[in-house]
Structure 1
Amino acid sequence: MRTTTALAAVSVLALGAVVPAVAGAQDEPATSLSPLDAPRRVLDTRDGASTADGEFVGGGPTEPDTTIELPIAGRVGVPETAGAVALNLTAVNAEQEGFVTAFPCGEDRPNASNLNVGDGGTIAGGAFVRVGDAGQICLYTSAVTHLVVDVAGHFPDDGVDALDAPQRLLDTREASATADGQFERIGQREAGSTLELDVAGRAGLPDPTPPVVLTVTVDALDDPGYVTVFPCDDQRPTASSLNHAAGQTIANTSVSRVDDQGRICLYTSADTHLIVDAAATLPPSTYATLEQPRRLLDTRASDSTVDGEFSGNGLRPQRSTLELDVAGRAGIPDHAGAVLLNVTAVEARTAGFATVHPAGVDRPTASNLNVAEGDTVANSVVTRLGSGGAVCLHADASAHYVVDVVGWFPGTPAATSDEACPSPPLFPTYRMVALYGTDASDQLGALGEQTPEEAADRLREVMQPWEQASDRPVLGTFELIATIATAAPGDDGLYRSVSPSDRVQRYLDVARQHGFYLVLDIQPGRSDFLTEVQRYEEFLREPDVGVALDPEWRMGPDEVPGQLVGQVSAAEVNDVARYLADIVADEGLPQKLLIVHQFQDRMITDRDQLIAPPELAVNIHMDGFGTREMKLETYSVTRIDPPFSNGFKLFYDEDIDIFGAADVLEFDPVPDFVSYQ
């Protein structure tokens, strides 16, 4: 890596949100992107970081007004003959406001930017950059910032038709100028307005114009909002091309079809100034586009996806991974090798990043999207398809996620295994904090003392001290008593009541809205655990539903719940464990939680015979109440060594001097699962 103060640059395609390039049928592309099996990191200026080949690591943040010359051809699978590359650029922890521009080394740097950063900000953006002299790309930074670059694939020489330099087509600000004097100084755009911008035949663009690559910049005023770029002869899509906060200056780039009159439209949801630069056009041989973007995923409660699948999955917890089917949906053929996606993190609950990669491939050291708490951020992603035509979406940041597919590239999918998307184990990835109970009775735990919606708000408050003190992300959990032991025998004489499906579904729906996990607690009465667990199989085939077994309420043939403490054999628990492990394997699910409650040694007979299949996180949960000394003594009896994990219950009413979060986090061992009753 060489740093120089010589300012040189460009023909660059910065790829942000994308709208359709061709509104109709189109021959399949012949000259196309060659995607890597997974994104590969080629630059990270942070000390202690890593890249795919161990080169260009560290060195500290860039100085203002400097250019990095980064070799790209001949590295990490990019051939020496590559004409352009698909990149994701990230500015990390900028120390002042500024911008980053990527361009081919050996050319003059244009008056354009790929990323705009604020003081302390971290932001990512996609870019197609033509490879310059000696197989290098140049990265100019106007601010002190760390830089991270990931490469997703490469194009041949004729894959991108770049202009000699980006040309300004619109600038609404005063004292501004465009390449031809048109659409300059026209004043801020009002909220809810749509601007029709002439493109064809301007500033070196051909007429008619193929799909055009535009860098769109907002200079926002008082309100947050978004901008959508689309062909004027199409209905405005629901996708956004650029999201901005109040007062923010931010850039992103769209690939848009130009309509028959040579125009594109720009819709603004808030008052803002707009700047638009044209960087290049994409020949029809490069990729095949859909008639309009198609939604493949929307984790919010909605039916907005193209086929109703992957809709309403719920807020994604931190460090979770979702496998998303792509090929065979929304007009993407089964033989597609790669796709162009628009990925949006919506109202992030935590700061972090998201990474998209082919299914069946290990998650790379790369990111596609960076968000701060509360942000809504969109970025376009070029990704190869993997096992079964699917991709993995790893959410380091807890947020809702929306994925739209815009176009596809022919080719061979990544060489993959048949494994599901890699998901981390529940423990020690998370510490789980739960409310226990059911709304079947307000006497059966804290969870049932209010509606499920109100319980979610209460749980969020309960989680706060744990989030402040814990050394890992806290995963909120509803522990719903699904099968409830009863004092009366009932019609079948089994002394238990089974929850209807709609009750379980209601709690699952609310849990997903908040990014929580759902545990179904089983009090079997005179039935057995496996029989009762199997009643809820439709829910247990979901990735975010686990099971808790409560031996206190496991009765013998002549026993009545509440008259004595029940018990269960290790063999019966193991039957449930094997059943759940088979479901996880069959469905390709992430690790599933299995809790066994205990507060007396006798409650689990032959406990040393318990099994812990890798598909499960098996947790022995201390379920006794009393003074602090009594609870610690009971915990010393129930505690268990790996591969099992430990749990601890706190009782609002029965505990004397209830432990706080900071107290419990000093236990040895520290419980992985903590519940409140």
Structure 2
Amino acid sequence: MTLAWLRRPSRAVAVALGLCALVLAAVGTPAEEEPVGVTEQVSTSVDVAAGDAVDPVRIAPTARPRWKAERVLPPGGMLIAYYGTAGSGALGVLGETPPDRAHRRLARAAAPFERPRRPVRLVYELIVSIADAYPGRDGDYSHDIARSDVRRYVDAARENGALVVLDIQPGRSGFQRAAKRWAWALREPHVGLALDPEWRMGPGEVPGRVIGRVRAEEVNRVSAWLSRMMLERNLPEKVLVLHQFRGSMLPDVRRIVRREGLQLVQHVDGFGTPGQKLDTYDAVARPGRFAMGFKLFYDEDRPLMGARAVHRIRPRVRLVSYQ
């Protein structure tokens, strides 16, 4: 089976041709999950997928304010997203047009997914920290887009009744350090967060030359910080999206814990034929632990799967994003 489809064509800076050989060497089934110590107490229980072995985690009793239990994913509901960055179509469809026009296009794309008693919400997944092939002034191989651009999408989403998900490609910086720069936007009730391990580089690694990875310990630190923020501010539930198309990108996925006030979504990327995309989905999906997401590529998928085909996927997809 051809494996080039496992590589997600996230951006031009990926030095794409040089990455193909790397992807061909790392075939589709998840890497063996390695044990790692959980270094912090968590605020809620661990959701265990069938067959997953999870070490006990102590629950820290804490006094909390009353939480506004508004679910970002109501029973039976779906999120339909456009993915990209501001002012450019190179990284995805979201940036091809101004926010209001993108919203209208997204609404048309989302309409076929609607079903009786299955509400659909629209989402702008905006890449706010973009991985680079060069170190930049701070040496982290990533740069942030302008705050004013993020504000435009946050404001447009509020006016249009949509959600925003801020996507982080951190380079050699940690996810939490990068995410905290966007705390001002994450304090908004309709703004969530996405972590993209493909672009989480280790020392000496360069985006586009290797496929990155992140350990559960780092994800858990981010989720603890985000959960505390929204509980303290009595915000409605937020989504925390984890992108993945290879098992090695989240090598100890079973240790990622759930947090009060956060809906964890495992978003399975990968382009190609429907059969190839579903092979990736089957290989990495952990539905007992996460709500499931699925990426559709306008240019790379052959053919592009429609709403009916996505609705047939099992375990059921709750977040669909178009790139």
When normalised by structure 1's length, the TM-score is 0.38
Query: Secondary structure in 1 aligned to 2:203?
Result: coil
Deviation of 1:439 (Å): 2.3
Tell me which residue corresponds to 1:570: 216
Task: Measure, in 1, the Cα distance between the counterparts of 2:70 and 2:101.
Answer: 30
Tell me which residue corresponds to 2:134: 488
Structure 1 segments (4+ residues) deviating >4 Å:
none
Letter in 2 for 1:537: A
Tell me which residue corresponds to 2:100: 453
Q: Does 1:628 align with 2:271?
A: no
Deviation of 1:440 (Å): 4.1
Kept in 2: contact 1:625–1:650 (CA 8 A): yes
Q: Deviations over 1:616-667 (max 9, x none)?
A: 0001000111111110000002211334211000000011111101110011
Kept in 2: contact 1:601–1:638 (CA 8 A): yes
Task: Measure, in 1, the Cα distance between the counterparts of 2:116 and 2:318.
Answer: 11
Deviation of 1:418 (Å): 5.9
Kept in 1: contact 2:141–2:206 (CA 8 A): yes
Deviation of 1:669 (Å): 1.2
1:541 aligns with one of 182, 187, 191: 187
Task: Measure, in 2, the Cα distance between the counterparts of 1:654 and 1:437.
Answer: 15
- Structure 2 vs 1, CA of residues 590 and 646 (structure 1 numbering), >3 Å: closer, same or farther? same
Q: Give the 5 Å matches for 1:381-420.
A: 419-420=66-67
Q: Deviations over 1:23-46 (max 9, x none)?
A: xxxxxxxxxxxxxxxxxxxxxxxx
1:601 aligns with one of 230, 240, 247: 247
1:462 aligns with one of 100, 109, 112: 109
Task: Measure, in 1, the Cα distance between the counterparts of 2:180 and 2:311.
Answer: 35
Task: Measure, in 2, the Cα distance between the counterparts of 1:534 and 1:623.
Answer: 25
Kept in 2: contact 1:436–1:478 (CA 8 A): yes
- Structure 2 vs 1, CA of residues 544 and 438 (structure 1 numbering), >3 Å: closer, same or farther? same
Q: Give the 5 Å matches for 1:424-463.
A: 424=71, 426-428=73-75, 430-463=77-110
Letter in 2 for 1:591: E
Q: Deviations over 1:99-119 (max 9, x none)?
A: xxxxxxxxxxxxxxxxxxxxx
Task: Measure, in 2, the Cα distance between the counterparts of 1:632 and 1:674.
Answer: 14
Kept in 1: contact 2:110–2:120 (CA 8 A): yes
Letter in 1 for 2:186: L
Unaligned runs of 5+ in 2: 1-63
- Structure 2 vs 1, CA of residues 496 and 440 (structure 1 numbering), >3 Å: closer, same or farther? farther
Tell me which residue corresponds to 1:640: 286
Letter in 2 for 1:444: L
Task: Measure, in 2, the Cα distance between the counterparts of 1:499 and 1:481.
Answer: 8
Deviation of 1:427 (Å): 4.5
Task: Measure, in 2, the Cα distance between the counterparts of 1:613 and 1:509.
Answer: 27
Deviation of 1:425 (Å): 5.0
Task: Measure, in 1, the Cα distance between the counterparts of 2:77 and 2:163.
Answer: 11
Larger Cα-atom Rg: 1
- Structure 2 vs 1, CA of residues 470 and 636 (structure 1 numbering), >3 Å: closer, same or farther? farther
Query: Secondary structure in 2 aligned to 1:479?
Result: strand
Letter in 1 for 2:246: Q
Kept in 1: contact 2:67–2:231 (CA 8 A): no
Task: Measure, in 2, the Cα distance between the counterparts of 1:672 and 1:644.
Answer: 10
- Structure 2 vs 1, CA of residues 596 and 445 (structure 1 numbering), >3 Å: closer, same or farther? same
Q: Give the 5 Å matches for 1:82-481.
A: 419-424=66-71, 426-428=73-75, 430-467=77-114, 469=115, 471-481=117-127
Unaligned runs of 5+ in 1: 1-416
Task: Measure, in 2, the Cα distance between the counterparts of 1:608 and 1:418.
Answer: 29
Kept in 2: contact 1:427–1:672 (CA 8 A): no
Task: Measure, in 1, the Cα distance between the counterparts of 2:94 and 2:140.
Answer: 25
Q: Deviations over 1:190-246 (max 9, x none)?
A: xxxxxxxxxxxxxxxxxxxxxxxxxxxxxxxxxxxxxxxxxxxxxxxxxxxxxxxxx
Deviation of 1:428 (Å): 2.9
Tell me which residue corresponds to 1:583: 229
Task: Measure, in 2, the Cα distance between the counterparts of 1:534 and 1:429.
Answer: 32
Deviation of 1:568 (Å): 0.6
Kept in 1: contact 2:76–2:117 (CA 8 A): no
Letter in 1 for 2:109: V
Kept in 1: contact 2:87–2:96 (CA 8 A): no
Task: Measure, in 2, the Cα distance between the counterparts of 1:609 and 1:421.
Answer: 27
Tell me which residue corresponds to 2:6: none
Task: Measure, in 2, the Cα distance between the counterparts of 1:549 and 1:557.
Answer: 19
Deviation of 1:457 (Å): 1.1
Q: Give the 5 Å matches for 1:35-114.
A: none
Task: Measure, in 1, the Cα distance between the counterparts of 2:296 and 2:100.
Answer: 22
- Structure 2 vs 1, CA of residues 422 and 578 (structure 1 numbering), >3 Å: closer, same or farther? closer
- Structure 2 vs 1, CA of residues 446 and 666 (structure 1 numbering), >3 Å: closer, same or farther? same
Task: Measure, in 1, the Cα distance between the counterparts of 2:200 and 2:158.
Answer: 30
Query: Secondary structure in 2 aligned to 1:568?
Result: coil
Tell me which residue corresponds to 2:60: none
Letter in 2 for 1:579: W
Task: Measure, in 2, the Cα distance between the counterparts of 1:457 and 1:420.
Answer: 33
- Structure 2 vs 1, CA of residues 418 and 480 (structure 1 numbering), >3 Å: closer, same or farther? closer
Kept in 2: contact 1:482–1:504 (CA 8 A): yes
Task: Measure, in 2, the Cα distance between the counterparts of 1:563 and 1:497.
Answer: 18
When normalised by structure 2's length, the TM-score is 0.78
Q: Deviations over 1:81-129 (max 9, x none)?
A: xxxxxxxxxxxxxxxxxxxxxxxxxxxxxxxxxxxxxxxxxxxxxxxxx
Kept in 1: contact 2:93–2:322 (CA 8 A): yes
Q: Does 1:611 align with 2:248?
A: no
Query: Secondary structure in 2 aligned to 1:548?
Result: strand
Tell me which residue corresponds to 1:224: none
Deviation of 1:424 (Å): 3.1
Q: Does 1:664 align with 2:310?
A: yes
1:531 aligns with one of 177, 183, 190: 177
Kept in 1: contact 2:87–2:98 (CA 8 A): no
Deviation of 1:599 (Å): 0.2
Task: Measure, in 2, the Cα distance between the counterparts of 1:536 and 1:547.
Answer: 9
Question: Highest relative contact order (Cα 8 Å, sep 6+), 1 or 2?
Answer: 2
Kept in 1: contact 2:124–2:162 (CA 8 A): yes
**Bigger fraction of residues in helix:** 2
Tell me which residue corresponds to 2:297: 651
Kept in 1: contact 2:128–2:150 (CA 8 A): yes
Query: Secondary structure in 2 aligned to 1:596?
Result: strand
Q: Does 1:505 align with 2:151?
A: yes
Tell me which residue corresponds to 1:18: none
Kept in 2: contact 1:523–1:554 (CA 8 A): yes
Task: Measure, in 2, the Cα distance between the counterparts of 1:642 and 1:483.
Answer: 30
Letter in 2 for 1:453: D
- Structure 2 vs 1, CA of residues 425 and 652 (structure 1 numbering), >3 Å: closer, same or farther? closer
**Bigger fraction of residues in strand:** 1
Letter in 2 for 1:542: E
Q: Does 1:561 align with 2:230?
A: no
Kept in 1: contact 2:79–2:123 (CA 8 A): yes
Kept in 2: contact 1:427–1:617 (CA 8 A): no
Tell me which residue corresponds to 2:38: none
Q: Does 1:516 align with 2:162?
A: yes
Kept in 2: contact 1:598–1:623 (CA 8 A): yes
